[in-house]
Amino acid sequence: MTTSTSVSLADAQELYSQLKNDDSIKVSIVYNTGINAQFEGQEIEYSIADLNALSVQIIIPVKNIEDNYIIISESFARTHNLKIYDYVDIKAPDTYRYDSKGYRLGIEKEGKNCTLQIACIIQDNKMMYQDAYIDIYNLDFMQESAWVNKIYINGDYQYIDNKLENMKNDFPYLKWANYSDVLMINNRDIDNRYLMIEIVVRILVIIASIGWINSLRNIFLSRVKDYDIIRMQGVSRIRLAKIMVYQIITYLLNGTILGCIIGSLIVEALIYRDQNRLTFDINFGIVYQMIVIMLLFCLLLIPVIRKICNKQLLSQFSQK
């Protein structure tokens, strides 16, 4: 569950309190602060979360949560060479004074240096690409500017749906969906992005095919004398046309194979850098489509091939 608009911290706490008072459901909350903490002199993005409630819901694989626990992302742990149960010194953000118009006036309270213990390390996407989750009861990191990122609710879906509908009178900004709805929306978004990538790839293939066909045309025209010598050796027009077609196919396959290898290596390097794992997965459907598109463009070379194969040799050499 989330909210359609930014909600004040007081309203968010009231909403969370009402949900937690219902023993029929399990609920946890994650706040975004919009302000960075500091670790080893560098800023880190963090969220405030009810770690104990997340543990009860088995959203994080940790039991017996304590206030000084911190959850970090895999990329953050890899960057700083951190492991589970390590202690880290995190400086909480400063608290600022603001005027009636919301302009920052100055520091009201300097952030405190806190020593926290790493309880677990979680994949980046499961932490919504934040560097760290800090416990909700660690008040040094809570900010008045915090807002609700997600509220996770476990229980009977129909009961939860009715309860949230009733709560919309007091909290009209509520938005929620069950796991199936979220999965469907995410899959739809991924499909839409993948479709856009396919469209861009096809456009790039068409542009590349135009340049490739123009280059082949220039190559064939620059080799007219070589083809004439081949014809003088007794090679027929049909045989010469086949030789030129074989050249086209050789160029096409070599370029496609090398492109797949180089492209796959680049993608694997990027995946390995982000996720520290290798997964070779080539979409041969797109490769086949690329080959078909380029073969169709090869039809534009038919007039050039016919012109070269049907050239009158005697007239050319008589001019020499």
Render pLDDT for 267-283 as a digit per residue (tens, 0 to 9). Answer: 788 777 776 667 666 67
Question: How many angstroms separate the Cα of 224 from the Cα of each of 40, 220, 278, 317?
Answer: 68, 7, 48, 13
Model confidence at 317: pLDDT above 80: no
What number of other Cβ atoms are within 10 A of residue 80's Cβ?
A: 15
Q: What is the pLDDT of residues 117-148, one digit of tens each?
A: 999 999 888 888 899 999 988 888 888 778 88
What number of other Cβ atoms are within 10 A of residue 162's Cβ?
A: 11
Q: What is the pLDDT of residues 213-230, one digit of tens each?
A: 888 889 888 988 888 888
Mean pLDDT over the full length of the chain: 82
Model confidence at 62: pLDDT above 80: yes
Provide mean pLDDT across the span 183-204.
81
Indicate the angle between helix axes 179-222 and 302-309, nearest 10 degrees. 20
Distance (Å, whole) CA 162 – CA 142: 31
Which single residue is written with the structure tokens 């007219």?
224
pLDDT of 81 reads: 93
Q: What is the pLDDT of residues 6-59, one digit of tens each?
A: 667 777 888 888 888 888 889 988 988 878 899 988 899 999 999 989 988 888
Question: Which of 131-145, 173-187, 241-255 shows the lowest mean pLDDT across its residues?
Answer: 173-187
Model confidence at 4: pLDDT above 70: no
Model confidence at 90: pLDDT above 90: yes
For residues 305 and 6, which has the higher predicted lDDT (pLDDT)?
305
pLDDT of 3 reads: 57
pLDDT of 316 reads: 47
Containing 122, the helix (H) or strand (E) segment is strand 113-122
Which single residue is written with the structure tokens 């946890």?
28
Distance (Å, whole) CA 10 – CA 4: 17
Alpha helices in 31-178 (DSSP H): 51-56, 74-80, 157-167
Model confidence at 319: pLDDT above 50: no
Provide mean pLDDT across the span 58-75.
87
Provide mean pLDDT across the span 142-161.
82
What number of other Cβ atoms are within 10 A of residue 186's Cβ?
A: 10
Provide mean pLDDT across the span 106-123.
88
Question: Which of 87-101, 217-231, 244-258, 268-282 shows the lowest mean pLDDT across its residues?
Answer: 268-282
